[in-house]
Amino acid sequence: MTGTQPPAPASGVPGGEPGSEFRKDMGPWANFALGFTYLSPVVSTYTLFGTALAEGGPPMIWAFVLAGCGQFLVALIFGEIVAQYPIAGGVYPWARRLWGTRWAWMTGWVYMWALLVTITAVAYGAGPYIAILFGFDPTVHTTVLCTAVLILVAILINYMGTKALSAAAIIGFAGELIGALVVGIYLLATHRHHGLGVIFDTYGTEGDGSYLPVFLAAAIIGF
């Protein structure tokens, strides 16, 4: 019929399907907090700092700069993709539009296992601390029990909806960031024994060879 426009796709993008709208239920701070607490860079820093320092000396800190540059490029790529396909669903629908269903299936499958392994590993790593917090001995059985409880709590928070998830993410982000700032400022103010030049001093960790292999081994803290 002349002058009649076809109905727009439900998703607002070409090839969209019903229910794939990108609804902005989470604000910028909640999104940032969720991403920050999911990656948890502060926890990895605390866990690996001593190992990386012993392996490569103070210059290992430059691994953070290299990792930051790489992550910035990844963020630019994801920003470009989400600008072209502002839909819900994450990597699967993006991969399906960019490369097709076969690659999308593989992307979704790998990402699903990555999430399962990551969530379980983080919960298991926190298990002993939770056990000690509640006065239990951090045995294997207690750690496994605390891990299961943490995973169950995470599932319940997710099923409570976006608002509950946003609140949990912001609380976790605030606790992690405030704790890191308090500890960092305290150590810099009361326990600093070297000047900034120390970040260029390898303290002989390379031995008689090149420092590059040593740095790459220590760079696990950033990568």
* pLDDT above 50 (res 97): yes
Q: What does the pLDDT look like over 26-52, one tens digit per residue?
A: 777 887 887 777 777 777 777 788 888
Residues 6 or more apart in contact with residue 183 via CB below 8 angstroms: none
Eight-class DSSP state of 8: P
By residue count, the chain amounts to 223
Residue ranges of the domains in the chain? 40-183+211-221
Q: Which residues lie across from 87 on neighbouring strands?
A: 21
Torsions phi, psi of 180, nearest 5?
-65, -40
Burial class (CB in 10 A: 0-12, 13-18, 19+), 177: middle
Burial class (CB in 10 A: 0-12, 13-18, 19+), 139: exposed
What is residue 13's three-state secondary structure?
Answer: coil
Judge whether 58 and 50 are in contact, CB under 8 Å: no
Average pLDDT score over residue span 72-93: 85
Judge whether 214 and 71 are in contact, CB under 8 Å: no
Q: What pLDDT score was predicted for residue 132?
A: 92
Task: Residue 147: name the closest of 168, 103, 117, 172 by CA.
Answer: 117
Q: What pLDDT score was predicted for residue 69?
A: 92
Residues 6 or more apart in contact with residue 30 via CB below 8 angstroms: 165, 166, 169, 170
* pLDDT above 60 (res 12): no
* pLDDT above 80 (res 99): yes
Rounded to two decimals, the pTM is: 0.63
Q: Which amino acid is at 73?
A: L
Considering the chain, what percentage of its residues have pLDDT values greater than 90?
Answer: 24
Q: What pLDDT score was predicted for residue 10?
A: 44
Q: Which residues lie across from 21 on neighbouring strands?
A: 87
User: Would you place residue 106 in the very low, low, confident or very high pLDDT band (cuts 50, 70, 90)?
Assistant: very high
Residues 6 or more apart in contact with residue 110 via CB below 8 angstroms: none
Q: What does the pLDDT look like over 110-152, one tens digit per residue?
A: 989 988 888 888 888 888 989 999 888 889 999 999 999 999 9
Average pLDDT score over residue span 46-61: 87
Q: What pLDDT score was predicted for residue 23?
A: 59
Q: What pLDDT score was predicted for residue 21?
A: 57
Q: What pLDDT score was predicted for residue 214?
A: 92
